[in-house]
Amino acid sequence: MPEREVEIPTRGEVGQLPACGSGGWHDAQHGEVGSWAPGATATGEIVQDWIYILNPNKDTLDGEPSDKDTVRRLAHKDPELDLWLSRRNRMNPGDRLWFFFSQPESAVAAVAEVDREPREDPDDPDFSYRVDVTLLPGPTDALYGNPVGRDELELGQVRSVQKVKPEALKILLARAGL
C-alpha cells in the first residue's frame, strides 16, 4: 500500500466548531455555546462512530509520521484535517472518527468529528474519497493518556475504516470523557 499524505488545509470557515471536550458545540460567528445528548447531533441526528486506521510507518500527516504525538499536537495547533478514504462510507457531519494507531502500540489514542460528508477525489485512484474532520483536543488528550487497546475494541480484521462496535463505543466514550 502506498504511503498516504494527509493534507491539513486552511479552510478559514466560520461556523460551528466542537467545544473542547464538552460534547457540545460553539458557534464562532455568534459566540453561542450549546450541547446535545451523547450520540446525537445538534439537529437530533444519530451520530455514527468510525475507527480510522493509521500506520505511523506508512502514513503521514502534513509530512510528519502519523503517530500519537503528532496527532495530539495537531489537535491543539491545527485540528482541521483532510483525510483520504478508499470508500465513501456513509459518514455525516457530527459523526466521530476514532484514530487507531497500528504501531508501536495498537490502540485508539485520538478522536475527531466529521465536518461534512465525504467527497470524491478523482485525482487519486488508490483513495478516491476525502473527508474533512476536526480533532477534539480534550478527548484526544484523555485518550493519549489512557488509550483503548485493540483487545478492548473487539477488532477482528483491521480495515482502513470500520464502524465501532457498541461495547467498544462505551469504553471509547468513557476514556475520552465524552
% of residues, the chain, pLDDT over 70: 75
pLDDT at 42: 62
pLDDT at 9: 34
Average pLDDT over residues 85-93: 83
Q: Does domain 47-176 have CATH number 3.10.590.10?
A: yes
Burial of 156-168, coded b for 16+ CB within 10 Å and e otherwise, reads: eeeebbbebbeeb
Cell readout for 119 is 467527497
The tens digit of pLDDT for each residue in 11-68 reads 333 233 333 333 333 333 323 233 333 466 566 678 999 999 999 888 888 788 899 9
Burial of 92-123, coded b for 16+ CB within 10 Å and e otherwise, reads: ebbbbbbbbbbeeebbbbbbbbbbeebeeeee
Indicate the pLDDT class of residue 109, thresholds 50, 70 and 90: very high
C-beta of residue 167 within 8 angstroms of C-beta of residue 115: no
Single pTM value for the model = 0.74
